[in-house]
Amino acid sequence: MKTSLLKKIQLFCFLVLLSAVINPLAQAQSPQGEILYDSPSFKVLRIWGTHAERGYAYGFIMGSQINTMMNNYIKPGFGNYYSTARSLILNETNFEFEEKHLVEAAAIIEGMNASGNNPNNLDITDLLVGNAMLDIQGLLGMKGGPGCSTLISWGDATNGTSLNGHAVATRHLDWSSNSVLLNNHLLVIHQPAEQDEQNWMMIGFAGMMGALSGINNQTAVFQHMMDDYSGAGQQGKAYKPIWFAMREAVEVLDYNQDGINDAADLESVMNNSSNGFANAYIISCVADEAADDDHTAMIAELAPTAPTHVYRTNGFADSIPGDNLYCANYQIARNELLHFCSRYNSIRNHIGNGTMLGVEENWTLMRDWSHQSNNIQLMQFAPSQNHFRIAVKKTSPAYLSDFVDFDLNEILNETTGIETVQNFSTLRLYPNPASKTMILEHKLQSIKPIALKILNSSMTEMAFSYGIISKNQIEINTDQLIPGIYVLSIMVDEKVLLAKFVKL
């Protein structure tokens, strides 16, 4: 018999309470997380381990900010409908949540309680309301939500620049300039212990578990509202909340198991929600090392009513030249509406022939011609260069604010406090997915020789060979491995690092 969501939530809360009674010292243990970057504008939190361990660290470290977001932004946003919102979440016929994410939500509340930062006794249902707020609004017929726009350039558009044909995407998040939002910008880096998951980062606000904006080493997904849609979602359709669906696309290692992390994974995730979604959304997706143009860049136009899933790729006549895809908040491919807004026309008028769009050119085009006054986050992703840039609004709009550049290799893949390696700075494993060989590029200072092992999904050691190319490069032969997901174990002076990869 299927367990209802209410019973699941009650069970998770009971298990949390039971663990505290059985092991009272557990609450005193250090959370598996750290503030990696802290500025007056935004914070970067890194958490590692299982979903329960990551959730606990998130709640323990960011509990005060989560409490503020829930009580001063989410609850007032629903007003008198907040109790209705909770009821909609608790009715399992309305929304479908992965059990691992319910475990994580319970652990967030546990972490908040342990740190003394849950004065209003928030529970899992409150947290799920906050993370499905746009979906609930869709069921209630409430308009609003983030506006946003994205420009993706690759191939012929970036040839002749430092990208050399690789992809870049710049994304505006246009939302309310509510002071609670502006004071709680947060990036959360997840380093999962689960073998079927990969390192990824959420770019949003304190308390978010899903991927309003989400990236991993190869792929990014960004959510926009479909403002020109006039329909509404229906209760009883078991919708997947959009931010959790997007999270699956960047969190699961090769979601559709075709050997490549690209836009096909997003398409597979979205197609698994056969009823569409509770609200109308536009999702942009960019990937590097994709199989073809259609899976390098994709725009999904999703709605509660038919056609529920429409995907726009470079072959669609959208009036943007070259290897570029642009989206804002209106339907282009859905019903072939070609509904161009003022920002869309502005990009069309200033993109020229759509070539020579490197990192800076792509950024400048979006900054100058796709901004709005309520622009509260502006970000850029260029995976081939391990490049992530972000500017946020504190007082001035994000497009007028200073930006910060991060090296994705350093912030996504750097070892955690559990697996510390002295003088460790970068670790790169490529190509991933691998066919016959791959390169381990590192900056590891080791007294003893570095020892490598390859483990399969059952953690069984596999036979393989490797050779030293240079002081900081090792060539690994994967030709004898059957296609699948593997873990490379790297031993450095009795410390072990684990890196996941896919064998084609």
Could you tell me the domains of the chain? 5-30+48-138 (no CATH), 145-175+213-391 (3.60.60.10), 420-503 (2.60.40.10)
pLDDT score for 8? 65
- Omega before residue 31 within 30° of 0, cis: no
- pLDDT tens for the chain, residues 1 to 504: 345 666 666 555 555 444 443 343 344 457 999 999 999 999 999 999 999 999 999 999 999 999 999 999 999 999 999 999 999 999 999 999 999 999 999 999 999 999 999 999 999 999 999 999 999 999 999 877 678 999 999 999 999 999 999 999 999 999 999 999 999 999 999 999 988 999 999 999 999 999 999 999 999 999 999 999 999 999 999 999 999 999 999 999 999 998 888 999 999 999 999 999 999 999 999 998 788 889 999 999 999 999 999 999 999 999 999 999 999 999 999 999 999 999 999 999 999 999 999 999 999 999 999 999 999 999 999 999 999 999 999 999 999 999 999 999 889 987 654 333 333 345 778 888 888 999 998 877 766 778 899 988 666 789 999 998 888 899 999 998 988 778 888 888 767 777 878 887
User: Rounded to an integer, what distance in angstroms lies between the CA atom of residue 270 and that of residue 264?
Assistant: 10
In angstroms, how far is CA 103 from the centroid of its own chain? Answer: 18
Structure tokens at 265: 């994974």
User: Rounded to an integer, what distance in angstroms lies between the CA atom of residue 62 and that of residue 166?
Assistant: 36
pLDDT score for 11? 56
pLDDT score for 7? 61
User: Rounded to an integer, what distance in angstroms lies between the CA atom of residue 275 and that of residue 271?
Assistant: 9
Using the structure block, give the residue that is written with the tokens 């900081």: 472
pLDDT score for 423? 33
Euclidean distance between the first and final Cα of the chain, in Å?
Answer: 38
- Rg from Cα positions in the chain: 22
Question: According to the 3-state scheme, what is the secondary structure of 244-309?
Answer: HHHHHHHHECCCCCCCCCCHHHHHHHHHCCCCCCCCCEEEEEEECCCCCHHHHEEEEEECCCCCCE
pLDDT score for 484? 79
pLDDT score for 21? 37
Question: According to the 3-state scheme, what is the secondary structure of 51-72?
Answer: HHHHHHHHHHHHHHHHHHHHHH
